[in-house]
Every structure is written in structure tokens, then in C-alpha cells.
Structure 1
Amino acid sequence: MLQPHPATVRAAVDHYYQLASQAAGQDTSAALPRQLQDAVYTLCVLTGTRDIASALAASRRFCGGGGESEASVARTDRISVLPPSPAGDRAGRG
């Protein structure tokens, strides 16, 4: 099975946490929900999982367990996001 490069996974996790933090902070940006959905989708694809909790757990395995504390992970795992859109919706995006 192919595995993503740890630096790629770390960058995707960092991006997810940045967006999740903005969402938790009541950021009212109209684009934020879609950006967060895209970040979740990317993490799921990179890790071969279907939900954010599994993707974050897998990312810790890929990256050797470093990074965010368990308390931080548990807090952001509860942030609700929309499920990924069908692949057809993504085809037209640049």
C-alpha cells in the first residue's frame, strides 16, 4: 500500500487544525465551511479513512505520533463538518 510522505500529512493536519480553530472561534467567513470540508476530505484521502477522527489517528501513525496533544485532538474531533461532496462536484474546481 502506498503511504503519503509524513511532511505532506503534517501539512494537511496543520491546515485542518487551523481551519477547525477558526470554526470553533465563530469565524463567520462564508468560505470556511467549504474549506474545512475540503481539509477533512484531503486528510481522509491521504490516510485512506472515511471520517476525521480516523484520519487524525492514522495521521499520528504516519507521522510517528508527534504534533497535537491528545486533549487538543479530542476537542477538535468533535467539530462537526459536512461529509465530502461526490467526486463529480470536485471535477469542475480549479
Structure 2
Amino acid sequence: MSEIITKAVEALSAKLGDAGYDGSAKFVIEGEGSIMIDGSGVRAADDDANVTLTASAETFQGILEGDINPTSAFMTGKLSLDGDMGEAMKLAGVLA
């Protein structure tokens, strides 16, 4: 597992906290790997999910740090979404 994925799992776990997540979402960091968020928590994995969000490592880091707005990243093509848009909105609410 890459260092970027390891750090992203830690950052997402911290953001999620004790809130938990009852859906399933996958982040694909281009050239690095995938991260799953579901009822089991956050982990490096490439399982099926209700929504898949794909971005470069730089974009993903900016979103996690609050420097890049996820909606703006999506609208400008820096973040792509495949699957349930409602699930992506729910995830954004939990991680905000």
C-alpha cells in the first residue's frame, strides 16, 4: 500500500470519527490505489460501492485539507463521480 493511501485512510478515519457511515463509497486516487468507506469504517480496498469518486493525489489531498471544494473539483473535471450522486452528497455531509 502506498504512503499516500495510508495517510488518506488515516485522514478520512479522523474526519469520519465516531459518526460512522451507513452507505458505501470508494475513493480512487489515480496511480495510488483505492479507499473504501462503509459501515465497517475506512480501509484500503477496491470493493464495489454505491459511488466511486476518482481524483489525482493532489486534488484528493486538497479536498481532505479543505483547500479544494469537492463541488468545484467535480464541476471543473478534477473529481469524477460514477454511481449514486445522492450517496456522494451524503458522504460530503458526513466528512465536512
TM-score where L is the length of structure 1: 0.32
Give the number of the structure with larger relative contact order, counting CA–CA contacts within 8 Å between residues 6 or more apart: 1
TM-score where L is the length of structure 2: 0.31
Q: Which structure shows the higher helix fraction? A: 1
Q: Which structure shows the higher strand fraction? A: 2
